[in-house]
Homo-oligomer: A and B are copies of this chain.
Amino acid sequence: MIQLHCFGESGNSYKAALTLELAGLEWEPVFVDFFNGETRGPEFRRLNPMGEVPVMVEGDLVLSQSGVIQDYISSKTGKFGGRSAAERREILRWVFWDNNKMSSQAGPLRFMMNFLPPEKRLEPVIAWLAGRFRAALEVLEGEVGRRDWLVGAQPTIADLACCGYLFYTEPFHFDRADWPGIDAWLSRIADLPGWTPPYDLMPGHPSDRA
């Protein structure tokens, strides 16, 4: 059985978990105690020297980076992939864009605003990340505001990457009401059979540390 090392608060983990779930694969989450430093410890670093979740393990195969895991699941199942070389390149483009321009802002911004102790919440950094996050949301709104899915006529891992952080409801300068195209697109994703919100799909929740 596929295991996914992850925790509920991690939007990057959610991209992999959601792809596994929607593709209909048998999988189980393995809780990573990020907030108590597990990803910085030697045991986890042996699993992934990058010190990051998600990590997918299937027998001898160990994969990290959500984009690689999503690509693997799509290739293995024939689901959420492209129907031509051009579509596959376009999908990869959006997954890279998400990793570079969207989640790179949304992830640290949400963590800093919600999960770090007050002394580590740096207001100038929050403002700077929020500005860059907004620019990324504008690009996304311009695309999903005028078609159903990012690439082709079906949902793909491009959609399942770019939505990764946007289903979380903690405050991080994102309100669906401000982005009608993104809002409708997220609703289309949430209507896919098997869709499950982040904290129901992976162990670990902010209330665990309350």
Instruction: Tell me whether B104 and A89 are in contact (CB under 8 A).
Output: no
Partner of A99, one of B49, B72, B96, B143: B96
**A83-129 interface (Cβ within 8 A of B):** 89, 92-93, 96-97, 99-101, 103-104, 108, 122, 124-125, 128
**A113-153 interface (Cβ within 8 A of B):** 122, 124-125, 128, 132, 139, 142-143
Tell me what chain A mostly uses at the interface: helix, strand, loop, or mixed: helix
Partner of A68, one of B93, B103, B108: B93
* 27 A-B residue pairings within 8 Å (CB atoms): A49-B139, A49-B142, A50-B97, A50-B101, A50-B139, A52-B101, A63-B89, A63-B93, A64-B93, A65-B92, A65-B97, A65-B100, A67-B96, A68-B92, A68-B93, A68-B96, A71-B89, A71-B92, A96-B99, A99-B100, A100-B103, A108-B132, A122-B124, A122-B128, A124-B124, A124-B125, A125-B125
